[in-house]
Amino acid sequence: MSIRVADRKLLWGRSRNQCAFPDCSQLLTVDLHDPESEVLGEAGVVLGEEAHIRSSQDGGPRHDGEYPPKRLDAYANLILLCPTHHTLVDKDGGRGFTVEDLEKMRSNHEGALQQLESAAAERQRVADERLAAAIQVWEAKAMLDEWQNLTWSLNTPVPYIREPLRDGLFELGEWLLARDWPQTSPHVREAFDRFLDVVRVLTAHVAQSFVRVGESNRWQLEREYKKLDSWNPPLYEELIAEHRVQCTMTYFLAIELTRAANRIITAVREEVDPLYRFDEGVLLLREGDGIFEHNIVRIEYRDRDWGDPFPPLSLQILRTAVAEKAAEDGIDADEVSPYRLFDL
C-alpha cells in the first residue's frame, strides 16, 4: 500500500510542514523521489520523511502484528520527521521510542501549532483536508482500481459493461453532479468539471444504447441489425451503419474519460498533493479485442493549458462528428479512429 491523499494532507497540514520531534520544528519539503528533490537536498533543503509509528515490516521498529494492515499507511500511524530524527526514533529497532511516545509527540506538536494559527488559516486547513477526503472518495466511486477493465470492455468490437461497473458509473455521475469544488483550487475544479461532462455523456449513451444480455450481469451495445424478422438489405445496411457510429462513439468516450481522469490526477498533484499517485502513476487505457490487438496506452490532455475552454460535448455533437470524419476520409464510421475526434 501507499499513503493516500487524505492521509498525506492530514499529516503535512497538521504538522505545518515541520518536524514533530520536540524542539526541532525543522521546516520540511516534500520529497518527490525525483532528480529535482535530490538537487534540493544537495543544496541544503531538508526533505521531510513520512515516518511510520508502527513498522509494516516484521521485526521493524515498533512492529505490531495485530495492527490492521490497511491502517499502516494511514494518518493515525504516521509522524512527520526530519531525516535526523527519523533515524533517531528508529535506532536500535525503535527501542528508545514507544508507539505511545510517538503518538504523544505528534499530538503535542500539532496542538502547539494549532494554538498559534489564525482562525482563517485553520479554516483553510480544514477545507484542504475535506478536499483531500473528497478526492479519495472520488477514487473509489470512479473505480480507479478497475480502470483498465472498464475501458477495455468499452473498446471491444462489441462494447459492453458489467453491471457493477455500470451501476457504479451512474452513481458516480450523481455524486459528481452534487459536488461543489473549491474556488481556491481552480485546476481541481476545472478538471472535475470536464470529468463530469464526459461522465454525463457516457452514462446517457449507456442508458440509451446498451441492453442487458439475457439474465447475465453484462450490458452490451444493442445490435438492432440482429433483430430483423426478415431479410431486408437496405434496412440491414442502415442498422449496421448506425451500429458502427455507436461503436466509435463508445470508443471515444472511453478514451476521453481516461484523459479527463488523468487531468484530475495532474490537478491534484499541482494543488493538493505533489506525491499523489506517485506509486500508481496515471491511468492507462487498455484497448483492442484481446486476441489480435491488445494495447496499453497513456492518454492525456498534453496540448491544453489550464483555463482553455473545452468545446461542448453531447451525444448529438459526437454522432455528427463521427459521420463527418467518415465522410471526409471516405470510410465506414467504425473505421474512424476515435483519436481523430480529439478536436471536439
Q: Which residues contact 17 (CB under 8 A, 6 or more apart)?
A: 27, 28, 29, 48, 80
What distance lies between CA 80 and its chain's CA centroid? 25
Which residues lie across from 212 on neighbouring strands? Answer: 219
Q: What stretches of the chain show up as alpha helix (H) in DSSP?
A: 5-14, 35-42, 83-90, 99-116, 119-141, 147-153, 163-178, 186-209, 233-271, 315-329
To the nearest whole percent, how much of the chain has pLDDT over 70? 97
pLDDT 10s digits, 21-79: 999 989 999 887 778 888 888 888 898 999 999 999 999 999 999 999 999 999 999 99
Q: Which long-range contacts (CB under 8 A, 24 or more apart) does 106-114 make?
A: 106/15, 106/20, 106/53, 106/79, 106/80, 108/22, 109/15, 109/18, 109/20, 109/22, 110/14, 110/15, 110/20, 113/14, 113/15, 113/16, 113/18, 114/14
Distance (Å, rounded) from C-alpha 264 to C-alpha 40? 27
Q: Which residues contact 308 (CB under 8 A, 6 or more apart)?
A: none
Check residues 243 and 343 and name the one with the higher pLDDT.
243
Nearest to 95 by CA among 73, 63, 137: 63
Domain boundaries, the chain: 5-117, 136-341
pLDDT 10s digits, 111-122: 999 998 888 888
Q: What is the pLDDT of residue 290?
A: 55
Average the pLDDT over each of 121-125, 215-219, 287-291, 332-336 and give the range with the smallest value.
287-291
pTM greater than 0.85: yes
Statement: residue 288 has pLDDT above 90: no
Grid coordinates standing for 29? 519539503
Statement: residue 277 has pLDDT above 80: yes
Q: What is the pLDDT of residue 69?
A: 92
Distance (Å, rounded) from C-alpha 163 to C-alpha 233? 34
User: If 0-12 CB within 10 Å is exposed, 13-18 middle and 19+ buried, where does residue 106 land?
Assistant: buried
